[in-house]
Amino acid sequence: MIVSANGLSGVSRSGVRIHFADRGQDFLHWDLFKTGEDTYDVCDCGPFQASVWVGTTVLGKITRNTRIKLVTRWGEKLRLNYPIVRTETIEIPIELLPDGTADLQGAA
């Protein structure tokens, strides 16, 4: 995922991984980076469906046992049926590109 490098430094950025309740869906976790007050962008998803969810904007606080609100890349507003069961702080690798953008590694 290519983003503006404004404000980024070093080789990684702090993010959060949210783990969803396993109800047979194709994704069990999303990696997020904070983009504003209570807004996050999905930069990775696993084990499957990264091509569907990367670029989605998550709205609101990230807390256990809640179902998140989101806006897809296509502008569709949804609430996921899978509650968050766990969160963890992660480091998201960043490659700074010559044109002043950054590539969040691992993102689809």
How does pLDDT run across 33-79, given as a tens digit for each residue? 888 899 999 989 999 999 999 999 999 999 999 999 999 999 999 99
Domain locations along the chain: 2-104
Considering the entire predicted model, what is its pTM?
0.78
Output the CA–CA distances (angstroms, integers) from residue 24 to 55, 81, 98, in the order listed.
23, 12, 41
Residue 31: which residues within 8 A CB-CB, separation 6 or more?
Answer: 15, 16, 17, 42, 43, 44, 45, 90, 92, 106, 107
